[in-house]
Amino acid sequence: MSSVNKVILIGNLTRKPELRQTQSQTSVTTLSIATNDRRKNSSGEYENVAEYHDVVVFGRTAENCERFLDKGRQVYIEGKLQTRKYTDKDGNERRKTEILSNQVVFLSTKGATGDSSYSRPSSDSGFSTPSNDFGDDDGNIPF
């Protein structure tokens, strides 16, 4: 029997993407994405509950994320979950689950400051542009 490991998120960046290079000179960008869910609390009232996701992007897409994205921008992320083990500074073994992204779509055209100065690079730039009905409406996710 086969299995599936697929993640799809639409959320907002909680900080500016961080670009670094591996020892083999592969570009890697780390994104932090927040998604919102509406749930009823114990009083029966609806409240927004945020979930935070760590996303890792590689190659040219990683470079474009660092170049064109900023805190507050809405993005579509597609990828898979991966859990890795590491040892913290106190010698304790820890686990971290991240999304390894194979697709990033820049949804909003506004930065965190609300300006519309964003311009899309050419189609061979290494990232996807919206070709579906996700829209550019920043009001879809209440942040």
Tens-place pLDDT, residues 85-105: 999 999 999 999 999 999 999
Give the pLDDT confidence score for residue 1 in this predicted structure: 82
User: Helix, strand, or coil here: 34?
Assistant: strand
In the predicted structure, residue 121 carries a pLDDT above the cut 70: no
Give the pLDDT confidence score for residue 83 in this predicted structure: 95
Give the pLDDT confidence score for residue 109 in this predicted structure: 67
Q: How many residues does the chain have?
A: 143
What total of structural domains would you count in the chain?
1
Is 81 a member of any domain? yes
Is 124 a member of any domain? no
Is 109 a member of any domain? yes
Is 121 a member of any domain? no
Asked if residues 129 and 120 have their Cβ atoms less than 8 Å apart, the reply is yes
Is 34 a member of any domain? yes
How far apart CA 125 and CA 65 sit, in angstroms, is 11
pLDDT, one tens digit per residue, over 64-85 is 999 999 999 999 999 999 999 9
Is 11 a member of any domain? yes
Asked if residues 126 and 68 have their Cβ atoms less than 8 Å apart, the reply is no
How far apart CA 74 and CA 112 sit, in angstroms, is 10
